[in-house]
Amino acid sequence: MLPALNKKYPFYILSFGVLFLFLALRYDFGNDYMSYYGVHEALNAGWQLTLGNEEILYKYFNLLIPNFYVMVAILSFFYICTLFLLIKSTLYIRQYWFAVLILLINPYLFLVHLSSFRQTIALCFLVFAVHFLTKGKRLFYFLFISIAVGFHQSALVMFPVYFLLNQKKINAVKIVTIMGVVILLLITPLSDTLFKWILDFFPKGYSYYYEQGLQNSLRATLISSFYFFLIVLNINKLTGRELIYGKLALIATIISLLAYKASMINRIGMYFDIFLIVTIPLIFSKMKQGKVRLILFVAMFGIYILRYWSFFNNPVWIEFYGTYQTILNK
């Protein structure tokens, strides 16, 4: 890393500090804040709530920290440190702004993370698991994934994904095969069978999202295809640990496409979406043609702005419409 770039560290540390304060001091911001508050108060009042035997770690996390606002602050600090680890261990300092831009301008990353307490904790342990896997420490991968499952059972999906996380290039035949399988799942009922099979491994509550028949719009699917093609056509430019992160990001884009058939699959996609914040900057840094890079960046930025507008006009995320408030003025 170039010594001259070290001067930027204070700025980036300050940036992550601001994000931490935004998260740690928030009050009733996001879809599930008050429901998590209610669960925390009930558990600490001695109520016997059923959170699922597989998510027992979340229950004891609540009991270990009796003050909900302190718990939110601790979770926020853990989340911010996890993001910083992911970015710092993968990108040059000059690329940090790009990663943070993607994190913030994609509403289904930062905003959704601050709303999904349990799954965000699981997501953080997943990032640590993959970090150790890139260093060849497989035992730590399974250990951290097991901990993640203790906070959100959906993290079980990361056990079979292990077999895809290697540093082998994806040849042209495999790329064409991936495209063919995605198209097949989109145009045939095969995806319905796949989704039902996956749901059998999760609590009955997860089937609610599927049974509602909610689907992503055609526009959202076309938008997702931009990121799918951006990654699948450039993934072999990545090497080493970069390639592992690239494969996770590619899975994220595939899940986004399949959400056209059932939007509930995006709940699983959360575990993969986070790796977009490092994969996209890496891919752009490998592009040699400046004009192509500029055109793609403008297109990507425009798409994210469109998604941001769509997010705040979607009744599903109505709890984000209100004015942000803190625990200091609630």
pTM of the model: 0.88
Average pLDDT value over all residues in the chain = 85
pLDDT of residue 51 exceeding 70, the answer is no
> Over the stretch 291-319, which tens digit does the pLDDT of each residue have?
888 999 999 988 888 888 878 877 777 77
Report the 10 Å Cβ neighbour count for 105: 16
Report the 10 Å Cβ neighbour count for 34: 13
Q: Which of 103-117, 178-192, 295-309 has the lowest mean pLDDT?
A: 178-192
pLDDT of residue 149: 92
Average pLDDT over residues 49-59: 70
- Which of 24-33, 69-78, 321-330 holds the top average pLDDT? 69-78
DSSP state of 87: H
Match 């260093």 to its residue by tokens: 135
More confident residue, 86 or 214: 86
Quick one: pLDDT band at residue 130, thresholds 50, 70, 90?
very high
> Over the stretch 199-223, which tens digit does the pLDDT of each residue have?
666 655 555 555 555 566 667 777 7
Per-residue exposure over 220-235, b if at least 16 CB sit within 10 Å of its own CB, e if not = bbebbeebbebbbebb
More confident residue, 290 or 18: 18
Phi-psi region of 188 (alpha: psi -120 to 50; beta: other; left: phi over 0): beta
Quick one: pLDDT band at residue 128, thresholds 50, 70, 90?
very high
Average pLDDT over residues 159-173: 91
